[in-house]
């Protein structure tokens, strides 16, 4: 069989799309795997979800011949958020296609490699966004020497990532910079070019400033959330406490406070690597059995009183999130789909280049419809 862009399109659509969707929805991140994906409440380019706040006022007790309770309407709060545009692009040169045009095995290997790279990159960024605030912020430049930049936190950076550099006033300084290498021990990244006057500037994911999904940093923040002022709605305020020394009592207190305040139940805990080590050490010191739980997607988690505890590379240091994943929904217009032109073509030539590209797209946003049913412990001394 001669390989053409037509049967390449067919392969991308019929054989690779479902596999990619499963990889990104179920295996990218254990937290994401537990979140419901739904097209409900999507109206045009927005998500509008009406939440009942509190109870019905017309319920009560009285005497046999006394007045009945006065009916009162339920209190409602409307959560609003715009859908975010998530993209993933693969690139195949015309030369590579022609080289494998009469070799099905080589063609499959070519597509496999491209798709594997796409899935790894998309999974990395989806996981990173879950812990962000939607701004695409990666970290701040502390100092520079040639093309090597020291950043305040290396967590969100990785080799191969494209980044934009902004001034403290929010002006774009440099776009589409490329990270050639990094040193996590030293906290440095090496860019594809040297920059002058970089100190105190901020790095963002390329083209993503203020365009990413609303992650945990926003949910546990202090500003407005989903179009509502947080100070006017206790419903939007999670339980947050600074705890220097991690103890079982503090963890249980956070769980109890959530149940007391919201009626919800914590079913998932996420923390940094150092906090998980501190928890394991704590359990061993208290002569508790450190058991594990198997999660969807092939993940394993430490158990705290039957609740899975997962360490994530993007979780802030010294932080533990105690969540009810039933309160989270990834609202989406559709699941991952290939971007097609009017003729239904997926693979398109880049104008002026002997290169073809194909783009995956998903329009989605993460929402938590019960923020006060979540908890965060921070300031924890890591082990």
Give the pair of three-digit tokens for residue 50. Answer: 């009406």
Per-residue pLDDT tens digits for 179-216: 999 999 999 999 998 887 777 799 999 999 999 999 99
Which of 53, 223, 197, 196 shows the shortest CA–CA distance to 135? 223
352: left (phi over 0), alpha (psi -120 to 50) or beta: left
Q: Report strand pairing: 320-323 vs 375-378.
A: antiparallel
Low-confidence ranges of the chain (pLDDT < 50): none
Beta bridge partner(s), residue 322: 269, 375
pLDDT for position 2: 58
Which residues are bridge partners to 133 per DSSP? none
Burial of 375 (0-12, 13-18, 19+ CB in 10 A): buried
Residue 182 Cα to chain centre, angstroms:
22
Give the chain's largest Cα–Cα span: 90
Q: How many CB atoms lie within 10 A of CB 206?
A: 15
Strand pairing report for 375-378 and 239-242: parallel
Q: CA nearest 212: which of 255, 156, 285, 280?
A: 156
The SS3 assignment for 113 reads helix
Stated as kind and residue range, the H or E segment containing 287 is: none
Q: What is the pTM of this model?
A: 0.89
- pLDDT above 70 covers a percentage of the chain that reads 95
DSSP-assigned letters across all residues of 14-48: IIIHHHHHHHHHHSS-HHHHHSEEE-TTEETTEEE
Count other C-beta atoms under 10 Å from residue 240's C-beta.
14
pLDDT at 379 (0 to 100): 96
The pLDDT assigned to 211 comes to 95
Q: State residue 178's pLDDT score.
A: 93
- CB 40, CB 13: distance < 8 Å: no
């Amino acid at each position: 069989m001669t390989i053409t862009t037509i049967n390449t399109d067919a392969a991308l659509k019929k054989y690779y799309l479902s596999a990619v969707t499963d990889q990104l929805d179920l295996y990218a991140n254990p937290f994401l795997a537990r979140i419901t994906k739904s097209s409900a409440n999507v109206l045009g380019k927005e998500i509008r979800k009406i939440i009942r706040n509190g109870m019905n006022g017309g319920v009560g007790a009285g005497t046999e011949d006394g007045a009945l309770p006065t009916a009162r309407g339920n209190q409602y709060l409307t959560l609003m958020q715009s859908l975010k545009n998530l993209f993933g692009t693969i690139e195949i040169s015309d030369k590579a296609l022609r080289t494998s045009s009469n070799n099905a095995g080589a063609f499959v290997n070519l597509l496999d490699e491209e798709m594997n790279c796409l899935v790894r990159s998309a999974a990395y960024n989806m996981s990173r966004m879950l812990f962000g605030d939607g701004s695409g912020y990666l970290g701040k430049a502390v100092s520079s020497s040639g093309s090597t930049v020291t950043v305040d936190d290396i967590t969100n950076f990785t080799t191969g990532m494209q980044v934009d550099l902004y001034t403290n006033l929010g002006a774009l300084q440099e776009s589409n910079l490329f990270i050639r290498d990094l040193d996590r021990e030293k906290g440095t990244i090496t860019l594809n070019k040297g920059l002058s006057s970089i100190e105190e500037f901020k790095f963002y994911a390329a083209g993503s400033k203020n365009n990413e999904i609303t992650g945990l940093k926003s949910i546990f923040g202090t500003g407005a959330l989903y179009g509502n002022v947080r100070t006017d709605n206790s419903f939007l305020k999670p339980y947050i406490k600074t705890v220097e020394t991690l103890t079982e009592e503090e963890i249980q207190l956070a769980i109890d406070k959530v149940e007391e305040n919201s009626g919800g139940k914590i079913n998932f805990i996420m923390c940094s690597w150092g906090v998980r080590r501190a928890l394991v050490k704590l359990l061993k010191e208290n002569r508790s059995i450190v058991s594990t739980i198997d999660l969807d997607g092939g993940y394993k988690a430490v158990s705290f009183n039957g609740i899975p505890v997962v360490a994530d590379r993007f979780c802030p240091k010294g932080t533990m999130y105690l969540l009810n994943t039933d309160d989270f929904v990834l609202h989406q217009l559709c699941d991952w789909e290939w971007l097609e032109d009017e003729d239904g073509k997926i693979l398109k030539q880049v104008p002026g280049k002997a290169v073809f590209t194909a783009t995956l797209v998903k329009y989605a946003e993460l929402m938590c419809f019960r923020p006060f049913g979540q908890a965060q412990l921070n300031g924890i001394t890591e082990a």
